[in-house]
Amino acid sequence: MPTYKPGEKAPDSGELIEVGPRGGKVENGRRTVIERGETIPPTSEAGNEFKYKRGSKTTH
């Protein structure tokens, strides 16, 4: 599953969860609901990225 960096435009609407640099779970990581085209928010730590929560991605 692809990951997205802060500042990128969201390709789809859905719920994003923060993951570590190697794609692993982040303790107390950020979660956000985003609409397609919105800017992906900052992560709690440098180097982390976001990925879509399984089953939450929608295309409009």
Domains of the chain, by residue range, sit at 1-60
Q: Rounded to the nearest 5 degrees, what angle is found at the Cα of 54, between the Cα atoms of 50 and 60?
A: 85
Q: How many residues does the chain have?
A: 60
Name beta bridge partners: 52: 16
Task: Quote the pLDDT of residue 38.
Answer: 97
pLDDT digits 0-9 by tens, 18-30: 999 998 999 999 9
Task: Quote the pLDDT of residue 15.
Answer: 95
Amino acid in position 17: I
pLDDT at 50 over 90: yes
> Mean pLDDT throughout 12-20?
96
